[in-house]
Structure 1
Amino acid sequence: MGDGNGSGKGKSVSYDVLEDVPPTKVGEIIEGELVVNPRPASPHARAASKLGGWLDGPFDEGNNGPGGWVILDEPELRFAGTGDALVPDLAGWRRERMPRIPNTPVFSLAPDWICEVLSPSTYRWDRGPKMRVYARAGVEWLWFIDPLAEGLEIHRLQEGQWRLHEVHLGSGTVNAVPFDAVPLNLSRLWSR
């Protein structure tokens, strides 16, 4: 079993192994390897919660914003034919692609946007293997939030490759694509 240190690399595992992951951990299958990490620490959890709260009103519900999105916390993603089972911190689908949320614990339709909140235990997985899987699945936008460094990186998939689109640091207000219709005050995301 992978523990975030690369043990078990190259061995393929089945989805059944996820049933044995304790509820105090997050289990994923990334490029054929079971990766089990602890639940996030408070700066990570706060950044994800605050971002989800900010997105919900204007983008998911359409309150004081354009709507048009389905935003979910920690959905399990299993893309056809890959064997991967990934759990991003947040994911969003444009409503024209997912007009209704399916009654299922697992999503096979690739999101249009994913956000990973970086932590020491997940950093190398988020910025390496998971990035590759998201690119193969065709996710258009990928955000990395680093609550300790107080930074937001925005990547866009172009011709199958991730391109760094924007980097925002500190506590300013930004218009972060694809949610640039409503300004985001970055200081909301950082634990104080």
Structure 2
Amino acid sequence: MKTLTIDRSKEWTVDDFLQLEESSTPCELINGELVMSPAPTPFHQNVSSNLNDFLKAEARKSGGIVFFAPIDLYIDRKNVFQPDLVFISAEKKNIITERGIEGIPDLVVEIISPSNIFTDRNRKKRVYQQIGVREYWIVDPANHTLEIYRHDQADADIPHLHVAKEGEVSSTVLTNLKFNLKEIFTFLD
């Protein structure tokens, strides 16, 4: 097994990022900085799987597709993210390429962990809003919350929808999607 060494003395680009070998360690390029994260916890993975089930069922009905991590989302020369879940509508399937997603997805879901709270709530949220992702979901398994931010909302820092513990979650992107939040936080039932 090869050890990955990160050169922190330089600003990374997509070209540098593409030179990395495949690794089981999640890596993202965020504003020219290579960021590595530990593997997600089993609870995180379970939440992701439960959400994927809901999103995937609705995506199929509309002709869209859902991807789950790891998949690279190429944003620009200095940003390659690996969101937990990504929905791409039928109309945008052309942004799916051999190396990943190269364009603006319709919906992005990030499930926060202690190691990525600031990044997902701040750095990545700003980028997703700037590039025009129609909906950005932040899921917090520790607090059992889900926040939805829309690209066209007046105040970018106040969620369009905030649900805690339980309550109906709906989407303006997948208009027939509806589920109770508590359903995604079931674990080993």
Which residue number corresponds to residue 116 of structure 1? 110
- Secondary structure of 1:79 counterpart: strand
Establish whether residue 30 from structure 1 lines up as the match of residue 30 from structure 2.
Answer: yes
Alpha-carbon distance, 1:137 to partner: 1.9
Structure 2: distance between partners of 1:176 and 1:151: 15
Q: Give, as a single letter, the amino acid of the residue that structure 2 aligns with 1:53.
A: D
- Secondary structure of 1:105 counterpart: coil
- Secondary structure of 2:48 counterpart: helix
Q: CA RMSD of the aligned region, Å?
A: 2.8
Alpha-carbon distance, 1:30 to partner: 0.2
Q: Give, as a single letter, the amino acid of the residue that structure 2 aligns with 1:47.
A: V
Which residue number corresponds to residue 55 of structure 1? 55
- Secondary structure of 1:72 counterpart: strand
Which residue number corresponds to residue 43 of structure 1? 43
Which residue number corresponds to residue 65 of structure 2? 70
Q: 1:112 to 1:171 in 2, by over 3 A?
A: same
Q: 1:154 aligns with which of 148, 155, 178?
A: 148
Percent same amino acid among aligned pairs?
Answer: 27
- Secondary structure of 1:96 counterpart: helix
Q: Give, as a single letter, the amino acid of the residue that structure 1 aligns with 2:43.
A: P
Q: Give, as a single letter, the amino acid of the residue that structure 2 aligns with 1:151.
A: T
Which residue number corresponds to residue 104 of structure 1? 98
Q: 2:129 aligns with which of 123, 135, 138?
A: 135
Structure 1: distance between partners of 2:155 and 2:100: 26
Q: Give, as a single letter, the amino acid of the residue that structure 1 aligns with 2:183.
A: R
Establish whether residue 86 from structure 1 lines up as the match of residue 68 from structure 2.
Answer: no
Structure 2: distance between partners of 1:71 and 1:106: 13
The CA deviation string for residues 50-72 of structure 1, in whole angstroms up to 9 with x for no partner, is 10111112x2221xxxx242211
Alpha-carbon distance, 1:21 to partner: 6.5
Q: Give, as a single letter, the amino acid of the residue that structure 2 aligns with 1:37.
A: S
Alpha-carbon distance, 1:22 to partner: 6.7
Establish whether residue 168 from structure 1 lines up as the match of residue 163 from structure 2.
Answer: yes
1:176-187 pair list within 5 angstroms: 176-187=171-182
Q: Give, as a single letter, the amino acid of the residue that structure 2 aligns with 1:96.
A: E
Structure 2: distance between partners of 1:129 and 1:186: 25
Q: TM-score, normalised on structure 2?
A: 0.82
Alpha-carbon distance, 1:123 to partner: 0.9
Q: 1:102 to 1:115 in 2, by over 3 A?
A: closer
Q: Give, as a single letter, the amino acid of the residue that structure 1 aligns with 2:135.
A: W
The CA deviation string for residues 16-54 of structure 1, in whole angstroms up to 9 with x for no partner, is 346547733110000110000011111211111110111
